[in-house]
């Protein structure tokens, strides 16, 4: 029902004809363990939904929904004692469009994300409403068994939920590349964790990030990855280990 309501709204806005068959819905289950530079840690479970709709002439519209939930011993306004505490993070939705092929094996991407301060203050949220436009591309190189998916997203806060909440101005860069290894296996760089530039502090955070993927069947995919903060001038974490179970239906 929800998918039908979203689909109807997209058609009304876009004025398109009846589209082709929709791609499958994707449901990710992410689990992360993050070690921070102050020797605290955070567990995170993040359900993520991608709900795509095929529009006319090869265009694809996708509704994305992320619902992060944390368990951390990091101190902050929402955890002044610094003991282990559970809470929701800042949830968000994202609306994206993918073009049909603009050149051989090349498609372009654009989206806008809306972040809500459901997590409150630190260490669960930012206490800021944010929006973030994205531009990117998908370029398949079958001769090299390689797919390049570079993305750039810029976060901007526009309304503080609490007085004194820190302003957000951040550029996230994903130099994503995925190498097919055969028999359903692949390895990806920067699929999940971005290189970031904080415009407020004018400092960078540069992780090394990689993920091994296995497509088990048409309906199931598994992934296991890790990231390490190589440049931590704008510190986000020291290291991270994560896994993903993806269902398609």
Q: What is the pLDDT of residues 191-236, one digit of tens each?
A: 999 999 999 999 999 999 999 999 999 999 999 999 999 999 999 9
Residue pair 110/135 in contact (Cβ under 8 Å)? The answer is: yes
Alpha-carbon span 128 to 90, nearest angstrom: 9
Q: Determine contact, residues 186/206, Cβ cutoff 8 Å.
A: no
The 10s digit of each residue's pLDDT in 86-106 is 999 999 999 999 999 999 999
> Is 86 within 8 Å of 103 (Cβ atoms)?
no
Q: How many CB atoms lie within 10 A of CB 166?
A: 12
Does 19 score more than 80 pLDDT?
no
Q: What is the pLDDT of residue 11?
A: 45
Please tell me the predicted confidence (pLDDT) of residue 66: 98
pLDDT at 1 over 70: no
Which domains are delineated in the chain? 2-248 (2.40.160.40)
Could you give the CA distance from residue 24 to residue 219 in angstroms, rounded to a whole number? 9
Token pair recorded at residue 19: 């589209």
Taking the C-alpha atoms of residue 130 and residue 43, their distance in angstroms, rounded to an integer, is 23
Confidence class for position 3, pLDDT limits 50, 70, 90: low
Q: What is the DSSP letter of 16?
A: -
Q: Which of 10-24, 60-74, 207-221 has the lowest mean pLDDT?
A: 10-24
- CA nearest neighbour of 172 among 187, 156, 153: 153
Structural tokens at position 91: 């949830």
């Amino acid at each position: 029902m929800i998918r039908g309501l979203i689909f109807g709204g997209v058609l009304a806005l876009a004025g398109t004809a009846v589209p082709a068959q929709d791609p499958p819905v994707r449901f990710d289950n992410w689990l992360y363990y993050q070690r921070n530079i102050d020797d605290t840690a955070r567990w995170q479970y993040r359900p993520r939904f991608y709900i795509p709709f095929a529009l006319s002439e090869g265009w694809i519209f996708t509704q994305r929904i992320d619902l992060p939930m944390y368990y951390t011993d990091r101190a902050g306004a929402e955890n002044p004692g610094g003991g282990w505490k559970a809470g929701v993070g800042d949830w968000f939705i994202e609306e994206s469009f993918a073009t049909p092929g603009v050149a051989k094996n090349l498609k372009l991407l654009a989206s806008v994300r809306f972040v809500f301060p459901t997590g409150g203050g630190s260490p669960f949220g930012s206490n800021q409403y944010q929006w973030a436009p994205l531009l990117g591309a998908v370029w398949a190189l079958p001769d090299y068994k390689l797919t390049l998916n570079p993305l750039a997203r810029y976060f901007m806060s526009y309304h503080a939920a609490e007085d004194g909440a820190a302003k957000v101005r951040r550029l996230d860069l994903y130099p994503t590349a995925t190498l097919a290894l055969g028999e359903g296996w692949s390895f990806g760089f920067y699929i999940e964790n971005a290189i970031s530039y904080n415009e407020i502090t004018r400092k960078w955070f540069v992780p090394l990030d990689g993920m091994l993927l296995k497509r088990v069947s048409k309906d199931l995919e598994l992934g296991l990855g890790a990231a390490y903060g190589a440049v931590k001038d704008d510190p986000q974490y020291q290291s991270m280990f994560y896994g993903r179970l993806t269902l398609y239906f």
